[in-house]
Amino acid sequence: MLRLLLFRARRDRIVVPIWVAATGLLAYAGAAGVQTEFPTDAGREAVLQVAIATPSLLALRGLPDGGTLGAYVYFQVFCYVAIMAGLMSIFLVTRHTRADEERGRLELVGATPVGRAAPLGATVLWGLVANLALGVLVALGFQGGGLAAAGSWAAGLAAAATGFAFVGLAAVVAQLAPTSRAANGISAAIVGAAFLLRAVGDATGTPDFDAITVTSAWPSWLSPIGWGQHVYAFTRADLSPLLLSAALAVVAVVVALVAQSRRDVGSSVLRERNGRAAGGPLLRSSLRLAWRLQWPGVVGWALGGLILGSLAGTLSGSLTSAADLSDQLQRVLELFIPGGKGQLVDLLVIAVVGIAGILAGAAGAQAIMRARGDEADGRAELLLAAPVHRSAWLLGYVLVGLVSAAAVALAAGLGAGLSFLGTEPERFWSSLGAGAAQLPAAFAFVAVTALVFAVLPRATIPAGWGLVAVGAFVGQFGALVQLPEAVRDISPYAHTPQLPGPDPDWGPAVVVVAVSVVLVALSVLALRRRQLTT
Amino acid sequence: MAAVIQASGLRKNFGRVNALDGLNLSVDAGEVHGFLGPNGAGKSTTIRVLLGLMRASGGEVAVLGKDPWRDAVEIHKRLAYVPGDVSLWPNLSGGETIDLLTGLYGGADPQLRTELIKDFDLDPRKKARSYSKGNRQKVALIAAFARRADLYVLDEPTSGLDPVMEAVFTAQVQRVKSEGATVLLSSHILSEVEELCDRVTIIRAGLAVETGTLGDLRHLTSNAVRAITRAPAADFETIPGVLHVRRDGDALLFDVETDATAAALAQLTKHPVHSLTVTPPSLEELFLRHYGTES
Ligand SMILES: Nc1ncnc2c1ncn2[C@@H]1O[C@H](COP(=O)(O)OP(=O)(O)OP(=O)(O)O)[C@@H](O)[C@H]1O
Ligand SMILES: [Mg+2]
């Protein structure tokens, strides 16, 4: 068991430290940023009053609990820290369970004298260790950012417990799902659902009479992220909600262990159906292959976009749509909504669809990563030994990436548009426009990933995800952590036209598209010069 | 006859590793050419260079009269390939994979496709994820043989096939040969090589060490002689090309190189000989000699 645990730690010696460090950095940047931007309680209370008056902002951040520094930082960043912990945990679990099983590595281990439950047990333990490390870094990050020590450690514990709850859930999913891809997809959807549940619960919560704290509605209590929020690390420091996380984790792990010990290696509850005996005329080119491989994932991403987008109309009820904003409120809002100007409802649509823009960029970049996956596993050899031009091969994936990104972004726009049909039907088209406005930035991620693929093939997958993550962070938190303008402008999301709004500026977006086209052209040239690299 | 594959002085290095170190290879039209060598000798690397998947670091190479790096697509139209380590798209079924791969070349011959699936006993509905190694290999073989090509490049195509399937494979190679196609067959299975190949090239450490028909290769080596005779061993030790002379009771044993056969027989006939056997080296011996580090 110890040996298996160490083996897992060794395999993850790069990826887990990156997750842990990035999350710690997020905590540090959040704390330090708030401190310089809003040094006084009064300033922070003013922001909270705006946020509470427009509860949809709460959906994007968390539960306010007064204007003290720690409480305010916790309100701003805890949900995102928890998402990081959740994603790290689910990928970790799938990697060491279903993915190993799929590749036949579990059989190698299973043939050695270790118990049947040992690999899963070791994975869960390793997940616990990784989350504890993440918790320590989060605590150090908050403390380093100038927050009180006791609260920082409570926050770290909350992050670790939330992540560990997702370890348990992902372990169960890995038992059910037939493939690692399906397992990661379902588990990621669970993390997304946990975020959405608490978003709805927080936004529909009841403000207390002092108007700077909010008591969440019941949906928050269905979410492990919600439990973590209710620790209120810097004010009440009530650790009891974490018992729920721990209990969920323990129950889930037991269920997973029982399932593991009762089933055959390689089997799963959700069965994989047989496929078709023939490819049909639709599967005769590398472009169609790319699409065939990509579309099931796109459906998932697009559904996520649709649900996310529909939050806009659902949450807009509480907004005063008429009033233009005073300068001070405007400045506050910019912290919540990157580059936001104009009417509140517009800003809400921009913010919500903007998050879908990140999903769109990720879906697009993922198409290019599939080309790399084919190359690394030797499948590309089968394709490129056929009369298929390398340029056509790559351009097929670029095209599929663009279509995927468009599907996700437009689905979010559509979701937003539909959610306004009952109240403000005239917003339907402008919401779709907000979706379309995400395309230039998403294209940029497709193009950059393609260039990395052509020049540094082995770096494609880490660089692809990493760039999307950095772009998302700079876009969403750039203002909060006070990155200089020049740095923020590197993120393609900084140039997304602000739609709906009075004067969307398409100029920078056109530049982004032009640069992307050049990058794609360069990557085609580079790919034609390089040989296959496994 | 025109050479379908012509490589001379081919070199390929990965960093400081010289995978190919001046390899010569010539495959004539219409022949089945065996490509042999120990693990890591550079067979798969050569094949990747021939397919234009890798670029040679030096030397000349032409496939079907064209440069494989520059004119890859033109060459590929006339070629079929089975890689040594077949990896498929896990969520495509076998049938879909076959249609995808043949579709890239313009489509399979439907009748051949049906026959091959039957002969190779493949369930085309199963997802590639659930295929065994042998079944993945079959998918690639069916895709390769289900359309007519001028050149078949097969990299260890039968590793993982059971003997019945090997027989099906052998029949397919014989069919495409009878249709006039050229086959480059890399293999470790000597019975297969002996049955199918017109000529073989043996490479070691990135260099061709021998090329020719199996008969030629045997010719270059020595035969084992066993004679029941009283002739004194010492008479033979002095003949150049006669080796390992020893006695075992009535039997006199020695190895003789092809060129020295006449001299050795002449010496034998000076004494009464009750029985005589001359055994050519087995294929295994032949290859072990070439694969070994001493040469
Ligand atoms: N992409 C690569 N990078 C570095 N070295 C490589 C690469 N591909 C092959 N090699 C090296 O080149 C040499 C030849 O390998 P190759 O795969 O061509 O051998 P092979 O003759 O096909 O062996 P086998 O019989 O095992 O299939 C080996 O030493 C191998 O380690
Ligand atoms: Mg090989």
For residues B259 and A112, give the distance between their C-alpha atoms in angstroms, rounded to a whole number. Answer: 56
Are the C-beta atoms of residues B81 and B123 closer than 8 Å to each other?
Answer: no
**Single residue among A219, A240, A268 that ends a domain in this structure:** A268
Cα dihedral value A372, A375, A377, A381, nearest 10: 160
Asked whether residue A363 falls in the same domain as residue A458, the answer is: yes
Are the C-beta atoms of residues A46 and A332 closer than 8 Å to each other?
Answer: yes
CB–CB contact B96 A388 (8 Å): no
List Cβ neighbours of B101 (8 Å cut-off, separation of 6 or more): A382, A386, B140, B143
CB–CB contact A279 B95 (8 Å): yes
Instruction: List the single residue in B with minimal CA-CA distance to A383.
Output: B101
Residues within 5 Å of ion ligand 2, judged at the Cβ atom: B 44, 84
Does residue A275 belong to any structural domain of this protein? no
In chain A, helix, strand, coil percent, each to 5? 75, 0, 25
Q: Considering CB atoms only, which of B53, B72, B96 is closest to A283? A: B96
Does residue A276 belong to any structural domain of this protein? no
For residue B85 and ligand 1, the question of a CB distance below 6 A is answered with no
Asked whether residue A259 falls in the same domain as residue A332, the answer is: no
Name which residue sits closest to atom 10 of ligand 1, judged by CA: B19
Asked whether residue A286 falls in the same domain as residue A263, the answer is: no
pLDDT of the residue at A322 = 36
Asked whether residue A441 falls in the same domain as residue A498, the answer is: yes
Q: How many C-beta neighbours within 10 Å does residue A514 have?
A: 11
Does residue A122 belong to any structural domain of this protein? yes
Q: Is the ipTM of this complex over 0.85?
A: no
Asked whether residue A252 falls in the same domain as residue A362, the answer is: no
What's the pTM value of the predicted model, to 2 decimals? 0.80
Asked whether residue A428 falls in the same domain as residue A458, the answer is: yes
Phi-psi category of residue B249: left, alpha or beta, with phi > 0 → left and psi -120 to 50 → alpha: left
Domains of chain B with CATH codes: 3-217 (3.40.50.300), 221-291 (3.30.70)
CB–CB contact A379 B105 (8 Å): no
Interface contact B101, partner A, CB < 8 A:
yes
Asked whether residue A204 falls in the same domain as residue A306, the answer is: no
Angstroms from B46 CA to nearest CA on chain A = 14
Chain CA centroid to CA A109, Å? 32
Residues of chain A predicted below pLDDT 50: 320-325
For residue B187 and ligand 1, the question of a CB distance below 6 A is answered with no
pLDDT of the residue at A280 = 65
Asked whether residue A209 falls in the same domain as residue A304, the answer is: no
Three-state DSSP state, B247: strand
Asked whether residue A364 falls in the same domain as residue A250, the answer is: no
Residues of chain B predicted below pLDDT 70: 1, 220, 292-295
**Single residue among A218, A246, A268 that ends a domain in this structure:** A268
Instruction: List the single residue in A with minimal CA-CA distance to B49.
Output: A531
CB–CB contact B91 A179 (8 Å): yes
For residue B84 and ligand 1, the question of a CB distance below 6 A is answered with yes
Q: Which ligand is nearest to the CA of B291?
A: 1
Three-state DSSP state, A446: helix
Angstroms from A279 CA to nearest CA on chain B = 4
pLDDT of the residue at B60 = 94
Dihedral sign, CA of B126, B129, B134, B138? positive
* Ligand 1 atom closest to the CA of B203, numbered from 1: 21
Angstroms from B143 CA to nearest CA on chain A = 10
Asked whether residue A445 falls in the same domain as residue A309, the answer is: yes
Note the pLDDT tens digit of each residue in B79-136: 999 998 899 998 899 999 999 999 899 888 999 999 999 999 999 999 888 888 899 9
Three-state DSSP state, A139: helix
Give the count of domains, chain A: 2
Interface contact B74, partner A, CB < 8 A:
yes
Q: How many C-beta neighbours within 10 Å does residue B123 have?
A: 14
CB–CB contact A278 B91 (8 Å): no
pLDDT of the residue at A261 = 82
Residue A91's domain comprises 1-268
Q: Which residues in chain B belong to E strands, given as ranges?
A: 3-14, 17-28, 32-36, 58-63, 79-82, 151-155, 182-186, 199-204, 207-212, 222-229, 242-248, 251-257, 273-279
Asked whether residue A249 falls in the same domain as residue A348, the answer is: no
Note the pLDDT tens digit of each residue in B221-245: 778 889 998 888 888 888 888 888 8
Three-state DSSP state, A65: strand
Three-state DSSP state, A380: helix
Residue A347 has which token pair? 């800003």
What strand order describes the sheet that includes B222-229?
A: B242-248, B251-257, B222-229, B273-279
Asked whether residue A215 falls in the same domain as residue A329, the answer is: no
Does residue A277 belong to any structural domain of this protein? no
Distance B22 CA to ligand 2 centre (A): 18
Q: Considering CB atoms only, which of A181, A379, A388 is closest to B88? A: A379
Are the C-beta atoms of residues B32 and B5 closer than 8 Å to each other?
Answer: no
Name which residue sits closest to atom 7 of ligand 1, judged by CA: B14
Residue B143 has which token pair? 């895709």
For residues A516 and A405, give the distance between their C-alpha atoms in angstroms, rounded to a whole number. Answer: 14
